[in-house]
Structure 1
Amino acid sequence: MADITSIDSIRAALRDLPQPDRAAQDGAAARNGQLTKPPGALGRLEDLAIWYAGWRADPRPAIHAPQVLVFAGNHGVAARGVSAFPPEVTVQMVANFEGGGAAINQLCDAFGAHMSVHALDLETPTADFTEAPAMDEAAFVAAFAAGWNAVDPQADLLVTGEMGIGNTTSAAAIAAALYGGGAAMWVGRGTGVEGSALEGKIAVVDAGLRRHADRLDDPLEVLRCLGGRELAAMAGATLRARHLSIPVILDGYICSAAVAPLHSASPAALDHAVAGHLSAEGAHAELLAKLGKAPLLSLGLRLGEGSGAALAIGVLKGAIATHSGMATFAEAGVADG
């Protein structure tokens, strides 16, 4: 696949989507039917293993090299008071990620994932999307390409996370633009805004939707006009993973909103992805329903950073370990009924 150099190259990447290896899927399903357990006894773990096998073209796969990418960006709309924290926190948290002190660092260590942090022009926030498109075409393509280029072709699983004060506002605006229902349906507390601040956040999203109403029939324009650099990068990384046949675990509300334009542009674009968890951000359940994704975990998390998806690496590793490591009835000398 060629490099990402323009919006047209992104559209081309969305038209040319690799498919899973059906022979590997069929082989995994056949193996699953022979393992020393009653049919269906491992529930979704069985489906996950077969799904993963198809994307890795291996009926008896293993997970050796999970990759976690954390993208950081600053948002001009944060100046409108949509977050309980100031934009300076983005830079401070990037330093914390780099120093190994954040939750995502600990989860990556726990599940054997290699993590890298990508700060995207933090000194230049996106435009306030109530006044102008968040990114011009060059900035949008650059951010999307940053995600695309960050994926390690040797990885066998991908998680993307984010940091960016104000990015739940962008996520809500993207969801409202793609699926309708108005800002109030999609705006949540984010970092903890309440009362009049929450009402102001809803008003900001509504203003952004009005400002860009003539562009919202194009999912990539939705991401460009209402998103942020870190959201565009997450979308770029997720699409690149598809072209490398690397399965993806999606994180929470912001990650789901970042990749929703891919799904809107091409409904099969996220077939290589599963939802890691249901976050405590209120509209996440509705957004996952729009994407057709059932979460693996529901633990009340709302941290971002890729933390919920990183935790779900353990679930997928468990699915693959049982599928590939268990004995068949014939191997174990157990009667299969």
Structure 2
Amino acid sequence: MTDLPFDSLAALADSAPTLPGFDDGAADAARARQDTLTKPPGSLGRLEELAIFMAGWRGDPRPHVFDAQALVFAGNHGITARGVSPFPPEVTAQMVANFERGGAAINQLCRHAGARLSVVPLELDRPTADFTEAPAMTEAECLDAMRTGAEAVDPKCDVLILGEMGIGNSTVSAALACAVCGGPAVDWVGRGTGADDAGVARKIATVEAGLSRHADATGLAILAALGGREQAAICGAILAARVARIPVLLDGFICTAAAAPLFAADPAFLAHARVAHVSREPGHARLCAAIGQDPLLDLGMALGEGTGAALALSLLRAALECHNGMATFAEAGVAGG
């Protein structure tokens, strides 16, 4: 379904110009409608922006969310052997089972927002390599995980919510963000799932060692060098959504950092994506600024799982209810339109 060149990372990186684009005509019509609704122009702020964003990517001046798909990808990481997380890697599989039983926060928020949730574990019994000693993934492994992510996307959905689970992946995210944006590792490393000061120091040292070893990696090669299978799957899903012109809501720091190598390859790869919320992880606001994203929500969250994106879906639905349901000045018989 993807029509993407999954034969090499270089071919994928060159595919941005061939992907479907934003429908300016539908967006202009949506913008014109906003200007006739019974409110002062621009008074609904980012709700208006979201409606126009949806119109352009869905090619419909009156877009709707009839079907919202949420995908949570899960992977394990070799760097956990370095003590970068207070939790063992076995927790990844345990949380996947919790998702499947409906017991996690993302289950509740998807039910509330009206999204169908699928959890996709990626070879949890085979962690990626320790990126301080070798590339986290071979190119073939990275492409395979990206393909899995792409194939998980339903091309008939109206919006895609992306989340992740993986013990150690806040360290992976710090490494990805630092590799794409630069600066010292300390600027990108946070406490993740509750690391103490010694744990944070180990995370910083691990990121520094990984960046030193893979200093020559650029663009999508950063993903294979430093990322995990869930990060690669997120990138694959983003690309598949672009082929189908499905808008994407990215969750917090881990999801945004997963997408950062796509931005490094070509910023156009993320044109159809919005960061749903700003995480309290210290690197997230910095990363969003670097890739030109203004997150929709700021609730002090740092859970992952796609929870912030699921909350943003409710905001998106509210934007479209106003866009499609409000009366125009002419329809309401109100002067001033």
TM-score when scaled to structure 2? 0.97
Task: Using the TM superposition, give the Cα deviation of residue 93 of structure 1 relative to its aligned residue in structure 2, in angstroms.
Answer: 0.3
SS in 2 for 1:219: coil
Mapped to 2, the partners of 1:254 and 1:15 lie a distance apart of 26
Alignment partner for residue 102 of structure 2, among 95, 100, 103? Answer: 100
The letter for the 1-side match of 2:97 is A
SS at match of 2:144: helix
Deviation at 1:15, TM superposition (A): 3.5
Tell me how far apart the structure 1 counterparts of residues 121 and 281 of structure 2 sit (CA, whole Å).
24
Paired residue secondary structure (2:145): helix
What is the aligned partner in structure 2 of residue 129 from structure 1? 131
Residue correspondence of structure 1 range 191-202 to structure 2 within 5 A: 191-202=193-204
- Asked if the contact 2:220–2:264 (Cα under 8 Å) also holds between the matched residues in 1, the reply is no
Q: 1:52 aligns with which of 13, 38, 54?
A: 54
Contact 1:87/1:165 (CA < 8 Å) preserved in 2? yes
Tell me the distance in 2 between the aligned counterparts of 1:170 and 1:93.
Answer: 19
Question: 2: CA distance between counterparts of 1:118 and 1:129?
Answer: 23
RMSD: 1.1
Percent of aligned pairs with the same amino acid: 59
What letter is aligned with 1:196? A
- In the alignment of these two chains, the number of paired residues is 335
Give 1:21's aligned amino acid.
D
Q: Deviations over 1:94-126 (max 9, x none)?
A: 000111110001111001101101000001000
CA distance in 1, matches of 2:184, 2:227: 17
Q: Which structure 2 residues correspond to residues 159-238 of structure 1 after superposition, within 5 A? A: 159-215=161-217, 218-238=218-238
Check whether the contact 2:190–2:282 (CA below 8 A) recurs between aligned residues: yes
* Contact 1:5–1:145 (Cα < 8 Å) also in 2: no
- Tell me if structure 1 keeps the 8 A contact 2:5–2:15: no
Could you tell me how far 1:4 is from its partner in structure 2?
2.6
Residues 72 and 230 in structure 1, CA contact (< 8 A), matched pair in contact too: yes
How far apart are residue 291 of structure 1 and its match? 1.3
Instruction: After TM superposition, list the pairs within 5 Å mapping 1:81-96 onto structure 2.
Output: 81-96=83-98
CA contact (8 A) 1:173 1:208 kept: yes
CA distance in 1, matches of 2:106, 2:5: 29
C-alpha deviation, 1:274, in angstroms: 1.2
Equivalent residues in 2 for 1:16-35, closer than 5 Å:
16-35=18-37
> Which residue of structure 2 lines up, in the alignment, with residue 292 of structure 1?
292
Unaligned stretches of 5+ residues in structure 1: none
Matches within 5 A, 1:267-282: 267-282=267-282
The alpha carbon displacement at 1:3 in A equals: 5.9
d(CA) in 1 for partners of 2:209, 2:70: 34
Aligned to 1:241: 241
CA contact (8 A) 2:252 2:277 kept: yes
DSSP-derived class of the 1:214 partner: coil
> Match of 1:199, as an amino acid?
A
CA distance in 1 between counterparts of 2:216 and 2:45 reads 45
Q: Report the TM-score when normalising by structure 1.
A: 0.97
User: Structure 2 regions of 5+ residues with no counterpart?
Assistant: none
Residue 314 of structure 1, CA deviation:
0.6
Q: Quickly say closer, same or farther: Cα 1:264–1:3, change in 2 above 3 A.
A: closer
Aligned partners of 2:176, 2:16: CA distance in 1, in Å?
Answer: 19
Q: Distance in 2 between matches of 1:171 and 1:223?
A: 10
User: What is the aligned partner in structure 2 of residue 118 from structure 1?
Assistant: 120
